[in-house]
Amino acid sequence: MNYRDLFDLSGKHALVVGAGSGIGRAVAAGLADFGAHVICADVHAETAEAAATEVKGRGGEARAATVDITQEAQVRDLIGGLGALDILVSTPSINVRKPLLEVSTEEFQRVIDLNLKGSFLVMREAGRRMAGQGKGSLVIFSSIRSQVVEPGQGVYAATKAGTLQMIRALAAELGPKGVRANAVAPGVVETPLTAQIKNQPTWYQAYAEKGALGRWAQPSEMVGAVVYLASDAASFVTGSLLLVDGGWTAVDGRFTPPL
């Protein structure tokens, strides 16, 4: 065996939901660089098209698709209409940073609908498709907030913990059918979702200093984890949470004692 071939995705068909920006955009390009044919799906048609164009500009194979993952029929139609599906990656999330006592019912529902319900619909439809064909890899983005939380992150953290537990259940249920299901937990990544923090220097720097590496991640730094989980290199990996957090969850507190 040539172990380099373990990461080769040639001939694989990957659906990246949330490919229009941030982590999803980088992941779509990364999977294509390893040989996959990528369907770049996003809620906004223009950003999905831009992602597909970028992938093709790098020499990869791609096409665009539009989907709102909070809408069951749209998710079913997209996944059911694919000619082939070997890899599913889903990244979309929103956040409302408020103390729990100040979160409105509407805000709560909006976060739940996308982060939890949307992830569920994508997992279910892709899982059904992969179970029927006896193979496939599901990679869903959770977060370090599935493990640790801070003020203002209660609803978001609940959705990310819920997403992780659904992935673990799916791994148990679909393992006998040849399907793997895993989650990725980023730390702080410079994406549109975190623009609110980046615009406040003190907050931004505090987060940078929390991790062991002392900085934020770029979306491109999530690509390796996804390629690994999607590929045969992770053929015995399922039900896992892969932390890509720069040591955030390993480091205890922001204070460096005078040792």
94 near 106, Cβ under 8 Å?
A: no
Residue 255 token pair: 């204070």
User: Among this protein's residues, is 207 annotated catalytic?
Assistant: no
Strands 179-186 and 87-90: unpaired
Task: Please report which residue ranges of 62-118 form alpha helices under DSSP H.
Answer: 72-80, 105-111
225 near 3, Cβ under 8 Å?
A: no
Q: Count of CB atoms within 10 A of residue 30's CB?
A: 27
Residue type, 104: S
185 near 147, Cβ under 8 Å?
A: yes
Of residues 156, 204, 207, 228, which has the active-site annotation? Answer: 156
What lies within 8 Å, CB to CB, of 155 at 6+ separation is: 96, 100, 103, 107, 108, 111, 112
Catalytic residues: 156
